[in-house]
Chains A and B, each alone.
Chain A
């Protein structure tokens, strides 16, 4: 269908044209694709930075604590994506929980200043200005992070569980400090988990459209939103499918890179019983 042309409101002519693909590499679309990749990449990095310590903490806790923590990570996954996103909106919107807490703090401080007859100096500003936490790229990253971080924590946690703790002791024993041990022993050994986590977070981020729709601002649409619009409001299915295919190609490239990498990895290290 992506090679077809739209000739009517509902009719599509399969002309084997590459027009849709050429259009996809045109100005605004390529920028959006690039922006989507950037947002997804940043989200993935943030997830990674948070997930590694969290996964470590879980895997080094007691068995009882482990199950509690794992359930608390997976619990949000049982709720609908929309509900989770709306709950996030409730927290970060202009009159949300964060801003009302800050406002409360502002008022209490101001009252305190009043008490000391310092109110006239307006140290705290004339009035409380709520933080603009929503409708920008950061809110999208926050939303994506919130939704997808479990998919990063769980694969890393799983490889950490299989990780031989004796290797840590061997590393200290051979003179490495904690930082060297982390980079020279832990990271290389948990890299399969990290790559799986990256794939599991990056790919859904790339195709997401609900979160940028709900949390994003006017200029923060992602490629998922454009595709959605082609199929719905713009009613241009051929172009929508061309964009979808481009997304699929990007995804395939990433997966094949991972596949080659993991094949190389298992060939080198994981043969035999370790």
Chain B
């Protein structure tokens, strides 16, 4: 037994819908007070995992242990979890106060306690002046907050959020992301969120699990997931990456990666590398060189700009090397007058640090 207390333990969870395997032998643990995010392309089974935990679907195989209690066969209404639905699913016939109170009233908690909790929640979501309004009278962001309040007011062991921000516009979404993180930290609750939005996953979660075709590919902390992914799929799904194809050869006790783009790259000997591994480098780790002096531990290259996307603060450029291979570079637009260098057709020298290379399993 480990010392860490797990809020949720999933063991070999499998769920099949007719002919498709939605969740394929998934096992992972969620620690207490974590903001855990399941990230994956649509249809990868991430929402199904959430629904299995909530009890809205029944797994074909596997166990769901919530706070040390096996909840695998417990009906949804008895599980100590609450869900925030993608469509919010607020009760249209009840006002905001009644919506928030719904769960508490069902559990027959006494009036004084209900009032106290609802008051706290209304302050937390800053919706006190709306208690007598109906869901149809609220904006998307407000409905979102009420849906969250309705879930957390029950003090569940874990709050499940099924793409809660996908219906909001970009600015509001960023505000709500911050708000979610703050609420989660203040309440010291465990949140489990499902999303297909990489930026959202990175900015709010303490831990990310990446899913594909019903399987969890990899789970790690948010920073490690971006900086040190171990699988090619997760590296490509979370942010952009230049994949360097090639093969590994062991010459005189020196592991060398024979790449097509950059030639031979010396790798550290002590790390374990699978034979079919490829290397990757994040586009922002590549910098444009203005001088031609030799730098230690840096791989240098030269190419012509063939695409330039301007984002104001950043420029995303694609350069084509002499061997017709393309690499992506993200440049921060620090000076106005250097923008000229990025114009299509210009030739650039770029370099990156060997230490920033990521070794990826296929």
Query: Are A and B interaction partners?
Result: yes
| A residues apposed to B, CB below 8 Å | 164, 166-167, 169-177, 180, 184-185, 188-189, 268-274
Report the minimal beta-carbon distance from B130 to chain A, rounded to whole angstroms. Answer: 14
B102, A269: Cβ atoms closer than 8 Å? no
A77 to B75, CA, bound (A): 42
Which A residues are CB-close (under 8 A) to B89?
164, 166-167, 169-170
B92 near A170 with CB under 8 A, answer no
A173 to B79, CA, bound (A): 8
Please give me the residue from chain B that is nearest to A163 by CB atom.
Answer: B92
Cβ of A271: which chain B residues have Cβ within 8 Å of it? 134, 136-137
Considering the complex, give the chain A residue whose CB is closest to the CB of B108. A175
Q: Which one, B56, B135, B136, contacts A173 given CB within 8 A?
A: B56
Stretch binding the partner chain, chosen from B80-88, B118-126, B216-224: B80-88
Within the complex, the shortest CB–CB distance from B227 to chain A, in Å, comes to 36
Q: Across the interface, which residues of A come within 8 angstroms of B56, CB to CB?
A: 169, 172-173
Name B153's closest neighbour in chain A (CB-CB).
A174
> In the complex, what's the smallest C-beta–C-beta distance from B75 to chain A, in angstroms?
8
CA distance A173 to B304 in the complex (A): 57
Number of interface residues of B (CB under 8 A): 28
B-side contacts of A269, CB under 8 Å: 92-93, 134, 136
Q: List 8 A-B contacts (CB under 8 A).
A: A164-B89, A170-B85, A172-B77, A173-B82, A185-B91, A185-B93, A188-B93, A271-B137
Minimal beta-carbon separation of B112 from chain A (angstroms)? 19
With a cutoff of 8 Å between Cβ atoms, the chain B residues found around residue A175 in the complex are: 77-78, 103, 106-107, 154
Q: Is the CB of B136 within 8 A of A164?
A: no
Q: CB-CB < 8 A to A166: which residues of B?
A: 85, 87, 89
Q: Nearest Cβ distance between residue A115 and chain B, in whole angstroms?
A: 52
Chain A residues with Cβ below 8 Å from B92 are: 167, 189, 269-270, 274
Q: Which chain B residues numbered 175 to 193 have a C-beta less than 8 Å away from chain A?
A: none
Contacts of B55 in A (CB 8 A): 172-173
Closest 3 interchain pairs by CB? A272-B136, A174-B103, A166-B89
Whether the pair B77, A177 counts as a contact (CB closer than 8 A) is yes
Chain A residues whose C-beta falls within 8 Å of the C-beta of B136 in the assembled complex: 269-274
The listed residue (A174, A189, A273) touching B150 by CB distance below 8 A is: A174
Least Cβ–Cβ distance between A67 and chain B, in angstroms: 22
CB B47 to nearest CB in A, in angstroms, measures 12
In the bound complex, CA of A189 to CA of B135 (Å): 13
Neighbouring B residues of A167 by C-beta, 8 Å: 89, 91-92
**12 new A-B pairs (CB below 8 Å) besides A176-B102, A184-B106?**
A166-B89, A167-B92, A169-B85, A172-B56, A174-B77, A174-B82, A174-B150, A175-B107, A177-B77, A180-B106, A269-B93, A272-B136
| Minimum Cβ distance to chain B for residue A229 (Å) | 46
In the complex, chain B residues 60-115 whose Cβ is within 8 Å of any chain A Cβ: 75-78, 81-83, 85, 87, 89-94, 102-103, 106-107
A174 touches B154 (CB 8 A): yes
